[in-house]
Amino acid sequence: MKQDPSSAVDRQREIYVHGAAGRRSPVPVDMDELEIAARDVMAPEAFAYIAGGAGRESTMAANLAGFERLQIVPRMLRDVGERTIATEFLGHPRSTPLMLSPIGVLEMAHPEADLAVGRAAAACDIPYIYSNQASVAMETVAEAMGERSRYFQLYWSKSNDLVESFVHRAEAAGCEAIFVTLDTTLLGWRTRDLGLAYLPFLRGKGIAQYTADPVFRRLMREGVSDSAPRPPISVKALATLVESAMSYPGSTLSALGSGDALKAVRTFVDIYSRPTLTWDDLDFLRGCTDLPIVLKGIQHADDARRAVDAGMDGIMVSNHGGRQVDGAIGSIEALPVIAQAVNGQIDIAFDSGIRGGADIFKALALGADVVGIGRPYCYGLAIAGESGVRDVLTNLLADFELTMALAGIADAKDIGPEALRARSDFENGAAAS
Catalytic residue annotation: 320
Backbone angles phi, psi at 294, to 5 degrees: -115, 130
Give exposure, 80-115, as e/b (b: 16+ Cβ within 10 Å): beebbbbbebbeeebbbbbbbbbbbbbbbbbebbbb
CA dihedral 13, 17, 23, 26 (to 10 degrees): 10
Given a contact cutoff of 8 angstroms between Cβ atoms, the answer to whether 128 and 393 are in contact is: no
Query: What's the CA gap between 123 and 136, in Å, rounded?
Result: 19
Query: Which stretches within 22-57 are classed as H helix?
Result: 31-41, 44-51
User: What does each C-alpha distance from 122 to 95, 142, 389, 394 come to in angstroms?
Assistant: 12, 10, 11, 12
Q: Cβ of 225: how many Cβ atoms within 10 Å? A: 10
Spatial separation of the C-alpha atoms in residues 273 and 262, rounded to whole Å: 19
Q: How far apart are CA 320 and CA 405, in angstroms?
A: 30
